Amino acid sequence: MSAAAALRGALRAAPRAAPRRRMGGLTNVHKNAHVEEWNGRREITEKTFDVGRPRTVATLLATIVAFPFVVHHVVKSELDTSKNNCINPKTKAIGTA
């Protein structure tokens, strides 16, 4: 058993450092510090987001409920008042003269 363990240990590759990669191959591209900061903030959003604050709850409700309702109401009223026959065909109900 010890010979097998020694063989496994010998066959196991030693950890190597990852090769340094250059962006864009051999060009002189430099990272933008503002973009890197934005990416860092985006990655930790789930850690910094707090639903318990009243302002956050109000913003969520306005974004998820109020804004779509207002857009729907405005578009529907615009379509109802439109004189376009393709959108609002002038049909009569069955049984009316």
Rounded Cα gap, residues 56 and 63, in angstroms: 10
The answer to whether position 17 is within a domain reads no
The answer to whether position 38 is within a domain reads no
Instruction: Give 25-54 pLDDT, tens digit per residue.
Output: 666 777 889 999 988 888 888 777 777 888
Average pLDDT, the chain: 77
The answer to whether position 77 is within a domain reads yes
The pair phi, psi for residue 14, each rounded to 5°, is -70, 140
Give the total number of structural domains in the chain.
1
Q: Name the CA dihedral angle for 49, 51, 52, 56, rounded to a multiple of 10 degrees.
A: 90
Rounded Cα gap, residues 52 and 13, in angstroms: 49
Rounded Cα gap, residues 10 and 14, in angstroms: 9
Determine the structural domain holding residue 77 and report its residue range. Answer: 51-82
Q: How high is the pLDDT of residue 57?
A: 86
